[in-house]
Amino acid sequence: MLSYQHSYHAGNHADVLKHLCLLALIEKLQIKAKPYFYLDTHAGNGCYTLTHAIAHNSQHVDEVVAAKLSAKMAGGNAVIQQYQHIVSSYLDKGMYPGSPLIAEAQAREQDTLHMSELHPQAFEDLSHWTKGTSLHIHKRDGFETLNALTPPKPNRGMVLIDPAYEQAQEYKQVEESVKSLIQKWPQGIIAIWYPLLSPTRINRNTKEIEDNPKASLSEKMLSNLSEFAEQGMIDIQFAVQKPSELVGMYGSGMVVINPPWQFEESMKPILSALTSQIQIDDNSLSHVQIVVPSP
């Protein structure tokens, strides 16, 4: 299976969706002059060399092209234009900015931004790329940081939860952390990235097609999250191609709990631009929708 890792898949379709959603949320927070709190629980390296990713996986070329295409998306959408402005200078140098630099590029003087990363090398890179900025970085498990820093002061803002999901237990960790967070910070905006995984895969050893044990974990997590997201939950999914045993992660999603007013409408033209510019086939799996708990 094609696992999602920050450094290995920098600049792919999942990054484009995540960062456009992040910028759309920040735009909503900045409607008011009041300061906001921001926490990235799995901040990663901060910035990535795309040529390094290409050299280690030729299949990654198409995913890097997705990021380059996104920098050329036409239209007057303000979020897309801001994304173009931020990433273009990095892409020109064969680099791609991670969510810490995306968020920092939009931050105002009154806003407080925290980045948590436990991996030693990733934290070292993050320290390098954020040196001289106002970002607060923490060498700590992201879920521990989430618990320690919330509820924040000021009591408005958002968290971005973006684990690698390499272990099945990480899905449950997200559920438990979000449930606890909602109980003590009910008004906080919670944005969670997750992978869309094909139901079958090719066994690397036997070359036989087999069931993918992680394929339904994202869907199960979303269903469980909806049970305690009493203030509302919006799901944004972008399927870059149809699921197949030939591709592990065929797309990804962003679920937003306690979404800002009219956030659903803000994301529809953004998703439309992604499907027209980056989608590989003619699938109709992408959507922006309000999630209603099962009866």
Q: Point out the residues that are catalytic.
A: 162
Asked whether 259 and 230 are in contact (CB, 8 A), the reply is: no
- Alpha-carbon gap, residue 205 to 186, rounded angstroms: 47
DSSP, residue by residue, 154-187:
SS-EEEEE-----STHHHHHHHHHHHHHHHH-TT
Rounded CA separation 175/143 (Å): 11
Q: Cα separation of 250 and 171, whole Å?
A: 18
∠ CA 219-150-218, rounded to 5°: 5
The answer to whether 192 and 174 are in contact (CB under 8 A) is yes
Q: Which residue has the tokens 């409607």?
A: 31
Say if residues 46 and 100 touch (Cβ distance below 8 Å): yes
Rounded Cα gap, residues 202 and 155, in angstroms: 47
Task: Assess contact for 236 and 271: CB atoms under 8 A.
Answer: yes
- With CA atoms as reference, report the closest residue to 267 among 242, 290, 243: 290
H helix or E strand, kind and range, residue 190: strand 189-197
- Asked if omega into 154 is within 30° of 0 (cis), the reply is yes
Work out the angle between the directed axes of helices 217-228 and 169-184 (0-180°, nearest 10). 10
DSSP code at position 215: T
Tell which residue, 137, 190, 140, has the closest CA to residue 161.
Answer: 190
